[in-house]
Amino acid sequence: MDIVVLAGGISAERDVSLKTGAMVAGALRGNGHRTVLLDVFIGYQGSKEDIPDIFAASNISGITQTDISETAPDISAVKAARGNTSGCFFGPYVLQICGMADIVFMALHGEDGENGKVQATFDLLGIRYTGSGYFGSALAMNKEVSKVFFKKNNIPVPNGIHMAKDGRIDDFAKTGLTLPCIVKPCCGGSSIGVSIVRKEEEFSQALTEAFCWEDEIIIEDYIEGRDFSVGILDNKALPVIEISPLEGFYDYKNKYKAGCAVETCPAKLPEGISAKMMRYAEAAAQALGLDSYSRMDFKLGEDGSIYCLEANTLPGMTATSLLPQEAQAIGMDYAQLCEKIIQVSLQKYGG
Which pLDDT belongs to residue 81?
78
**How sure is the predictor about 63, in pLDDT bands with cuts at 50, 70 and 90?**
low
Q: What is the pLDDT of residues 191-242, one digit of tens each?
A: 778 999 999 999 999 999 999 888 999 999 999 999 999 999 999 999 999 9
Calculated CA dihedral for residues 127, 132, 133, 135, nearest 10 degrees? -160
Angle at 11 between CA 9 and CA 15, to 5 degrees: 70
pLDDT at 65 over 50: no
Q: Where are the domains of the chain?
A: 2-129, 140-157+224-349, 160-221
DSSP 3-67: EEEEE--SSTTHHHHHHHHHHHHHHHHHTT-EEEEEETTT---S-GGGGGGTTTTTT-BS-----
CATH 1.10.3370.10 given to domain 140-157+224-349: no
Could you give the 3-state DSSP secondary structure of residue 81? Answer: helix
Q: What is the pLDDT of residues 130-174, one digit of tens each?
A: 999 999 999 999 999 999 999 999 999 999 999 999 999 999 999
- Cis ω before 52 (30° cut-off from 0): no
* pLDDT, average across residues 45-71: 70
* DSSP 8-state secondary structure symbol assigned to residue 93: T
> At the topology level of CATH, where does 160-221 sit?
Dna Ligase; domain 1 (3.30.1490)
- Are 2-129 and 140-157+224-349 equal in CATH topology? no
Alpha helices (runs of H) in 245-317, residue ranges in sequence order: 252-256, 271-288
Yes or no: say if 82 and 42 are a contact pair by the CB < 8 Å rule.
yes
Return the percentage of the chain with pLDDT > 90, whole number. 74
With 0-12 CB in 10 A as exposed, 13-18 as middle and 19+ as buried, what is 259? exposed
Read off φ and ψ for residue 70, nearest 5 degrees.
Answer: -80, -5
Which pLDDT belongs to residue 189?
58
Q: Measure Cα distances from 8 to 14, 48, 113 in Å.
A: 5, 21, 9
pLDDT at 122 over 70: yes
The CATH number given to 2-129 is 3.40.50.20
Could you give the 3-state DSSP secondary structure of residue 147? Answer: helix
